[in-house]
Amino acid sequence: MAKFNSFEEIIAWQKARELNSELYLITGHGDFSKDYGLRDQIRRASISITSNIAEGFERETTKEFIRFLYIAKASSGEFRSQLYLATDLKYVSNDEFERLNLKVSEVSKLISGLIKYLKSTF
Protein backbone atom coordinates (compact mmCIF):
# COMPACT_ATOMS: atom_id res chain seq x y z
CA MET A 1 0.00 0.00 0.00
CA ALA A 2 1.16 3.55 -0.62
CA LYS A 3 2.84 5.45 2.16
CA PHE A 4 -0.16 7.56 3.11
CA ASN A 5 -1.79 7.66 6.52
CA SER A 6 -5.08 8.94 5.14
CA PHE A 7 -6.66 9.70 1.78
CA GLU A 8 -6.61 13.39 2.71
CA GLU A 9 -2.83 13.31 2.23
CA ILE A 10 -3.15 12.29 -1.42
CA ILE A 11 -2.48 15.28 -3.68
CA ALA A 12 -4.89 14.03 -6.35
CA TRP A 13 -7.68 13.94 -3.76
CA GLN A 14 -6.78 17.45 -2.53
CA LYS A 15 -6.83 18.87 -6.06
CA ALA A 16 -10.08 17.07 -6.89
CA ARG A 17 -11.63 18.52 -3.73
CA GLU A 18 -10.71 22.02 -4.94
CA LEU A 19 -12.27 21.16 -8.31
CA ASN A 20 -15.49 20.08 -6.57
CA SER A 21 -15.75 23.37 -4.71
CA GLU A 22 -15.16 25.48 -7.80
CA LEU A 23 -17.60 23.45 -9.86
CA TYR A 24 -20.34 23.82 -7.26
CA LEU A 25 -19.90 27.60 -7.32
CA ILE A 26 -20.08 27.72 -11.11
CA THR A 27 -23.05 25.36 -11.43
CA GLY A 28 -25.00 27.20 -8.74
CA HIS A 29 -25.66 30.29 -10.86
CA GLY A 30 -27.25 31.34 -14.12
CA ASP A 31 -28.51 28.99 -16.79
CA PHE A 32 -26.27 26.19 -15.58
CA SER A 33 -28.16 26.05 -12.28
CA LYS A 34 -31.42 25.51 -14.15
CA ASP A 35 -30.19 22.65 -16.36
CA TYR A 36 -30.76 20.05 -13.68
CA GLY A 37 -29.67 17.09 -15.79
CA LEU A 38 -26.26 18.40 -16.86
CA ARG A 39 -25.68 20.24 -13.59
CA ASP A 40 -26.31 17.13 -11.51
CA GLN A 41 -24.39 14.83 -13.84
CA ILE A 42 -21.22 16.95 -13.89
CA ARG A 43 -21.44 17.36 -10.13
CA ARG A 44 -21.73 13.59 -9.71
CA ALA A 45 -18.72 13.04 -11.99
CA SER A 46 -16.69 15.53 -9.98
CA ILE A 47 -17.71 14.03 -6.64
CA SER A 48 -16.97 10.55 -8.00
CA ILE A 49 -13.31 11.49 -8.39
CA THR A 50 -12.78 12.33 -4.72
CA SER A 51 -15.11 9.59 -3.50
CA ASN A 52 -13.37 6.81 -5.43
CA ILE A 53 -9.91 7.92 -4.34
CA ALA A 54 -11.11 7.86 -0.72
CA GLU A 55 -13.00 4.58 -1.02
CA GLY A 56 -10.12 2.85 -2.77
CA PHE A 57 -7.67 3.99 -0.13
CA GLU A 58 -9.93 2.77 2.65
CA ARG A 59 -10.08 -0.72 1.09
CA GLU A 60 -6.53 -1.16 2.43
CA THR A 61 -5.22 -3.31 -0.41
CA THR A 62 -3.14 -2.02 -3.26
CA LYS A 63 -5.11 -4.00 -5.84
CA GLU A 64 -8.43 -2.52 -4.68
CA PHE A 65 -6.93 0.96 -4.43
CA ILE A 66 -5.75 0.76 -8.03
CA ARG A 67 -9.17 -0.43 -9.18
CA PHE A 68 -10.88 2.55 -7.55
CA LEU A 69 -8.24 4.94 -8.90
CA TYR A 70 -9.12 3.77 -12.41
CA ILE A 71 -12.76 4.57 -11.67
CA ALA A 72 -11.76 8.03 -10.39
CA LYS A 73 -9.69 8.58 -13.54
CA ALA A 74 -12.64 7.56 -15.71
CA SER A 75 -14.82 10.04 -13.85
CA SER A 76 -12.36 12.79 -14.70
CA GLY A 77 -12.86 11.94 -18.38
CA GLU A 78 -16.62 12.05 -17.91
CA PHE A 79 -16.22 15.44 -16.22
CA ARG A 80 -14.17 16.79 -19.13
CA SER A 81 -16.71 15.59 -21.67
CA GLN A 82 -19.55 17.27 -19.80
CA LEU A 83 -17.47 20.42 -19.43
CA TYR A 84 -17.25 20.67 -23.21
CA LEU A 85 -21.04 20.49 -23.45
CA ALA A 86 -21.42 23.14 -20.73
CA THR A 87 -19.09 25.37 -22.73
CA ASP A 88 -20.95 24.72 -25.98
CA LEU A 89 -24.19 25.70 -24.24
CA LYS A 90 -22.51 28.86 -22.90
CA TYR A 91 -23.06 27.80 -19.28
CA VAL A 92 -19.37 28.42 -18.59
CA SER A 93 -17.10 31.09 -19.99
CA ASN A 94 -13.95 30.27 -21.93
CA ASP A 95 -11.90 31.29 -18.87
CA GLU A 96 -13.93 28.99 -16.61
CA PHE A 97 -13.56 26.17 -19.12
CA GLU A 98 -9.79 26.62 -19.31
CA ARG A 99 -9.45 26.74 -15.53
CA LEU A 100 -11.66 23.70 -14.86
CA ASN A 101 -10.19 21.71 -17.75
CA LEU A 102 -6.66 22.41 -16.52
CA LYS A 103 -7.59 21.34 -12.99
CA VAL A 104 -9.33 18.13 -13.98
CA SER A 105 -6.51 17.25 -16.39
CA GLU A 106 -4.00 17.75 -13.58
CA VAL A 107 -6.06 15.50 -11.31
CA SER A 108 -6.19 12.83 -14.03
CA LYS A 109 -2.41 12.97 -14.47
CA LEU A 110 -1.86 12.75 -10.72
CA ILE A 111 -4.11 9.70 -10.55
CA SER A 112 -2.23 8.10 -13.45
CA GLY A 113 1.05 8.70 -11.67
CA LEU A 114 -0.28 7.18 -8.48
CA ILE A 115 -1.55 4.12 -10.37
CA LYS A 116 1.85 3.70 -12.01
CA TYR A 117 3.60 3.99 -8.67
CA LEU A 118 1.25 1.53 -6.97
CA LYS A 119 1.64 -0.99 -9.77
CA SER A 120 5.42 -0.87 -9.34
CA THR A 121 5.11 -1.80 -5.65
CA PHE A 122 3.73 -5.28 -6.23
pLDDT in tens, 62-88: 999 999 999 999 999 999 999 999 999
Looking at residue 3, what is its pLDDT? 83
Q: Is residue 2 part of a domain?
A: no
Specify the CATH number for the domain of residue 83: 1.20.1440.60
Contact by Cβ (8 Å): 79, 104: yes
Q: Is residue 53 part of a domain?
A: yes
* Structural domain of 102: 7-120
- Cα separation, 34 vs 16, in Å, equals 24
pTM, two decimals, is 0.94
Q: Is residue 64 part of a domain?
A: yes
Mean pLDDT of 25-49: 98
Model confidence at 101: pLDDT above 60: yes
Q: Is residue 39 part of a domain?
A: yes
**What total number of domains does the chain contain?**
1
Give me the chain's average pLDDT, please: 96
- 83: closest CA among 23, 33, 6? 23
> Residue 60's pLDDT band (boundaries 50, 70, 90)?
confident
Q: Is residue 1 part of a domain?
A: no
Burial annotation 26-64 (CB, 10 A radius, 16+ → b, else e): bbeeeebeebeebbeebbebbbbbbbbbbbbbeeeeeee
